[in-house]
Amino acid sequence: MLPARWDPFRSINKELSSLHREMDDLFRRTFGQTMETKGVMSPAINTYSKGNTFCVEAEIPGVKREDLDVSVDGDILTLRGERKESKEVKEEDYMVRESQVGSFIRRLTLPEGVNTDQIHASFDNGILKISMPVEKKLSTGRKVQIEGPTEGKQVH
């Protein structure tokens, strides 16, 4: 029989992993979700430029149009809304409940050159679409050359 090699760190890692799982389970049972995600409700947002138009799309499923508010203050676009709890299902009838309810607010800094006086917003199938014309071309970015000595050569 070959001797077994003893690794003291294997048992410590195993115990720490077990403790981590138990703490996650405790938070999940106590608060309904992990502490990292508790109370965080923020819609996913895509922004893009299409021709002379700046566009914002926000995914907000389960929110009614009348529970949304879109406002502009200077170069800040603010989205506010509230996902309300369903009255059809009682709390004790849930087996798993991952949907978040409550209010959210999301602010975006608009790029220079957009005309916020001509903003347009529409909401359909949980997608909020906002568009506004661009008065001057938005910067698309460029690659910047990094200067310095080349490898193997010294600078005098």
Looking at the structure of the chain, the number of domains it has is 2
pTM, two decimals, is 0.59
Asked if residue 16 and residue 64 are part of one domain, the reply reads no
Q: Which of residues 2 and 120 earns the better pLDDT score? A: 120
Average pLDDT score over residue span 27-56: 73
**3-class DSSP state for residue 129?**
strand
How confident is the model over 70-84, as pLDDT tens digits? Answer: 999 999 999 999 888
Q: Is residue 16 part of a domain?
A: yes
- The segment with the largest mean pLDDT, out of 17-21, 36-40, 112-116, is 112-116
Q: Of 104, 98, 97, 106, which is closest to residue 40 (Cα–Cα)?
A: 104
Percent of residues, the chain, with pLDDT higher than 90: 31
Same domain, 22 and 79: no
The boundaries of the domain holding residue 28 are 10-37
63: domain CATH number is 2.60.40.790
CB 41 within 8 A of CB 56: no
Record the tokens describing residue 47, joined without a space: 């922004």
16 and 65 belong to one structural domain: no
142 within domain boundaries: no
For residue 62, the model assigns a pLDDT of 84
What's the mean pLDDT in 10-37? 67
| 40 pLDDT higher than 60 | no
> Could you report the per-residue pLDDT of 119-149, keeping only the tens digit for each?
999 999 999 999 999 987 656 667 787 887 8
- In whole angstroms, give the CA distance from residue 22 to residue 85: 29
